[in-house]
Chains A and B, each alone.
Chain A
Amino acid sequence: DGGITQSPKYLFRKEGQNVTLSCEQNLNHDAMYWYRQDPGQGLRLIYYSQIVNDFQKGDIAEGYSVSREKKESFPLTVTSAQKNPTAFYLCASSPEGEHQPQHFGDGTRLSIL
């Protein structure tokens, strides 16, 4: 079955620690995205990538980093510079271009220890 997989489902971060959230898709989609969702809020775009080895900052990229070395994979690192990392993180993918709905992973819930 094609889909998009995020891991882990729950993650805890200590002060000063970097953590990496995994996102893998086997839908052969060109575009991938990372969103952050806080309680009662919509999805806010952190980073997106339209092609391998290229990515762009979204609205709230500070304190985060990404890589896109393979089409299938788009990991997100939450760095120690992100002072308020507690949130629900969603990865998505889509065929590139207009009119294409996004397919979402099940999310990773990150909390501070």
Chain B
Amino acid sequence: GQNIDQPTEMTATEGAIVQINCTYQTSGFNGLFWYQQHAGEAPTFLSYNVLDGLEEKGRFSSFLSRSKGYSYLLLKELQMKDSASYLCAAPSGGSYIPTFGRGTSLIVHP
């Protein structure tokens, strides 16, 4: 199966920019998802990347480098409500079902 690695926890200041990294196994790569999950709630879809480059969606952007097995989620103009866990997920081995990383807990402080 897939092996997803992302940092456990990050902290940032309100109004700042933060980058959350994710590495994955490149073998059989078939796209990468980012989800946001507030404590005790359901994950919600943020972005999907299958081609190299940066995809921008408002304050959130996601980047992919297939050759390096690397992605990041960039959050700009951080708000307190952005405090959440950010899950990186990718399928592998010809399956379309993603394997999830452990999630990065982002704490935004004033």
Contact of B31 among A42, A88, A99, A109 (CB under 8 A): A99
Once A98-B30, A98-B31, A99-B31 are accepted as A-B contacts, the answer to whether A40 and B42 lie under 8 Å apart by CB is no
Q: Tell me whether chain A's interface is mostly helix, strand or loop, or mixed.
A: loop
Contact A107 B97 (CB under 8 A): no
Q: Is A105 an interface residue (CB 8 A)?
A: yes
Interface size class of A (residues with CB under 8 A): 20 to 34
Contact A42 B96 (CB under 8 A): no
Once A59-B1, A101-B48, A102-B45 are accepted as A-B contacts, the answer to whether A43 and B40 lie under 8 Å apart by CB is no
Q: Is A106 an interface residue (CB 8 A)?
A: yes
Contact of A97 among B41, B50, B96 (CB under 8 A): B96
Contact A42 B103 (CB under 8 A): yes
- In the complex, residue of chain B having the shortest beta-carbon distance to the beta carbon of A9: B40
CB within 8 Å: A-B pair count = 53
Contact B42 A43 (CB under 8 A): no
Q: Is B7 an interface residue (CB 8 A)?
A: no
Q: CA separation between A35 and B103, bound complex, in Å? A: 14
Contact A48 B97 (CB under 8 A): yes
Contact B87 A100 (CB under 8 A): no
A37 CB, min distance to chain B CBs, angstroms: 9
Once A90-B42, A107-B42 are accepted as A-B contacts, the answer to whether A42 and B50 lie under 8 Å apart by CB is no
- In the complex, residue of chain B having the shortest beta-carbon distance to the beta carbon of A43: B100
Contact B50 A99 (CB under 8 A): yes
Contact A107 B41 (CB under 8 A): yes
Q: CA separation between A113 and B25, bound complex, in Å? A: 40
Q: Is A33 an interface residue (CB 8 A)?
A: yes
A-B contact pairs, 15 of them (CB 8 A): A40-B102, A43-B43, A43-B87, A43-B89, A48-B97, A88-B40, A99-B48, A99-B50, A99-B96, A101-B45, A103-B45, A104-B44, A106-B41, A107-B40, A109-B40
Which residue numbers of A lie inside 8 Å of B, CB to CB?
33, 35, 40-45, 48, 59, 88, 90, 96-107, 109
The 6 closest A-B pairs by CB, nearest first: A104-B42, A101-B45, A42-B100, A43-B100, A42-B102, A98-B96
